[in-house]
A and B are shown apart, each in its own frame.
Chain A
């Protein structure tokens, strides 16, 4: 592999990793803080992509579609949390798995009723549709743009979680939920905000990804499974872990396809198995 090809694969892996991070960070926060296994998180990614497609059809602008789509996803997540998830906090994981699996079926069916079973595409905006020459090859500007935007979002999350009072409550809630309540903080409101933000992030990931992949039924299923691999590698509940895990999985998957194409579908699971052999709690997981 020459250097240019290597560089392009690194960029592809990082971009895929960022997309995964947006989905996996919500998944890991929702599990780490609220103790909820949300199987419907991948469906949020799909809904985001469809909303982007739908709003693009109306507004003819990807930017406007995404800007309007994010608050829609937030409200959508809030409604799901209040109607379905909030009754599950004191229940066993089995109930959560059943409920959120049921949500996948409902959301997939809703998607079919609203948009049918066809594959759709969302065009890359004109200004970002070019390519940057790299040696004897080219790299699409839109992919770089996606990485850049995701980097900004990740930095924003870092600030919110690391520096704000909401972030303190989120971290404290992950370590000792009962004490947070005993100090006068309404933990169910924190939960609702975290869940809605998680839904908005997953939806945003689907929206920004729509021009790269097509928009199709069940597109959230695969990303859900990969996101679980990411958070298991990173350590469940750790956003830092989700970031490192997403980058590792993104790069391993991309390079696996290039270097060992016949085993590419196995590479990330082999990576997960190796990490778990070395650190059963994941890279940044706490030993319980």
Chain B
């Protein structure tokens, strides 16, 4: 591990699903504590980018480095143990485990041995989960499932938290709550990659943005730069 290496560096990443070429050479990096927004319309390769980073759909070409170590060919659990926490699209809660078990199953100290996120702290962050500890994963509302998915990833004490469509399909009030938690997580110094439809919320919380169109980055720059040029996101993200 190199002392000053960014948490995540992705260079010239190409990914195929069978014969179809989805990602055409993506480059970006996330430094410690930094928040990156991954933007783009549906089907442009955001989730594939995340799956490729985690080794779930390994890239066919290019390199993924975590703290300077190449993890491109590693198994998903090895990559996750480098300090990456995943809150996947669709939440993917373990339906046949209780809320408490969902949280405890993955609990472990962080890469540096730190144990900042314990069951108590996660329940403090999401008081609604504390009331539903013994409920099974499939007996939760969408918002509660989302909180559980975030809590579950935090229990691995990650250095980088990846949230894929964390507010999708949720009521406005719950969405607001999720965004405020995302801000609080960011304030604790955990780096984040965010995928969401709410461009304004993304611009207000993230440091930099990457816009994907058909598996290629068409914009890569700071959030302030993107906010100052609304025509860019209107062109690539507007409906």
A117 on the B face (CB < 8 A): no
Question: What residues on B are CB-neighbors of A176 within 8 Å?
Answer: 92, 94
In the complex, the answer to whether A174 meets B88 with C-beta atoms within 8 Å is: no
B54 on the A face (CB < 8 A): yes
Q: How far is the CB of A252 from chain B (nearest CB, A)?
A: 28
- Counting chain A residues whose Cβ lies within 8 A of the other chain, the interface size class is 10 to 19
A168 on the B face (CB < 8 A): yes
CA distance A241 to B85 in the complex (A): 34
Query: Which label, helix, strand, loop or mixed, suits the secondary structure of the A interface?
Result: helix
What's the A-B contact tally at a CB cutoff of 8 Å? 61
Query: Which label, helix, strand, loop or mixed, suits the secondary structure of the B interface?
Result: loop
In the complex, the answer to whether A181 meets B75 with C-beta atoms within 8 Å is: yes
Question: What residues on A are CB-neighbors of B190 within 8 Å?
Answer: none
Q: How far is the CB of B49 from chain A (nearest CB, A)?
A: 14
CA distance A174 to B94 in the complex (A): 9
A175 on the B face (CB < 8 A): yes
In the complex, the answer to whether B77 meets A171 with C-beta atoms within 8 Å is: no
Known A182-B56, A182-B88, A183-B153; contact A171-B76, beta-carbon cutoff 8 A: no
- Counting chain B residues whose Cβ lies within 8 A of the other chain, the interface size class is 20 to 34
B81 on the A face (CB < 8 A): yes
Write out, one digit per residue, whether chain A residues 157-185 have a CB within 8 A of any chain B CB (1) or not (0). Answer: 00000000100110110111011011111
Question: What residues on B are CB-neighbors of A80 within 8 Å?
Answer: none
In the complex, the answer to whether B96 meets A178 with C-beta atoms within 8 Å is: no
Across the interface, A169 reaches (CB within 8 A) one of B81, B105, B153, namely: B105
In the complex, the answer to whether A185 meets B106 with C-beta atoms within 8 Å is: yes
B223 on the A face (CB < 8 A): no
Across the interface, A175 reaches (CB within 8 A) one of B56, B96, B106, B152, namely: B96
A186 on the B face (CB < 8 A): yes
By beta carbon, the residue of chain B nearest A163 is B101
Write out, one digit per residue, whether chain B residues 142-169 have a CB within 8 A of any chain A CB (1) or not (0). Answer: 0000000000110010000000000000
By beta carbon, the residue of chain B nearest A189 is B77
A187 on the B face (CB < 8 A): yes
Question: What residues on B are CB-neighbors of A172 within 8 Å?
Answer: 94, 96-97, 102, 105
Question: What residues on B are CB-neighbors of A183 within 8 Å?
Answer: 77, 80, 85-86, 105-106, 152-153, 156
Across the interface, B81 reaches (CB within 8 A) one of A171, A175, A184, namely: A184
Question: What residues on B are CB-neighbors of A171 within 8 Å?
Answer: 94, 96-97, 101
Q: How far is the CB of A201 from chain B (nearest CB, A)?
A: 21
Residue in B54, B92, B153 whose Cβ sees the most chain A Cβ within 10 Å = B92
Residue in A168, A174, A175, A183 whose Cβ sees the most chain B Cβ within 10 Å = A183
B197 on the A face (CB < 8 A): no
Known A175-B94, A176-B92, A183-B80; contact A168-B75, beta-carbon cutoff 8 A: no
B16 on the A face (CB < 8 A): no
In the complex, the answer to whether A178 meets B56 with C-beta atoms within 8 Å is: yes
Residues 104-137 (chain B) with a chain A CB within 8 angstroms: 104-106, 108
CA distance A175 to B105 in the complex (A): 14
Question: What residues on A are CB-neighbors of B85 within 8 Å?
Answer: 183
In the complex, the answer to whether B104 meets A168 with C-beta atoms within 8 Å is: yes
B232 on the A face (CB < 8 A): no
Known A172-B97, A181-B75, A183-B156; contact A165-B92, beta-carbon cutoff 8 A: no
CA distance A26 to B75 in the complex (A): 27
Q: How far is the CB of A191 from chain B (nearest CB, A)?
A: 12
Write out, one digit per residue, whether chain B residues 78-104 have a CB within 8 A of any chain A CB (1) or not (0). Answer: 001100011010001011110001101
Known A168-B97, A172-B97, A185-B77; contact A179-B92, beta-carbon cutoff 8 A: yes
Q: How far is the CB of B104 from chain A (nearest CB, A)?
A: 7
In the complex, the answer to whether A168 meets B80 with C-beta atoms within 8 Å is: no
CA distance A165 to B96 in the complex (A): 14
Interface set of A (CB-CB < 8 Å, partner B): 165, 168-169, 171-172, 174-176, 178-179, 181-187
Interface set of B (CB-CB < 8 Å, partner A): 54, 56, 75-77, 80-81, 85-86, 88, 92, 94-97, 101-102, 104-106, 108, 152-153, 156
A-B contact list, 6 entries, CB within 8 Å: A168-B104, A174-B96, A175-B95, A178-B76, A181-B76, A183-B152
The 4 closest A-B pairs by CB, nearest first: A184-B80, A181-B76, A168-B105, A183-B106
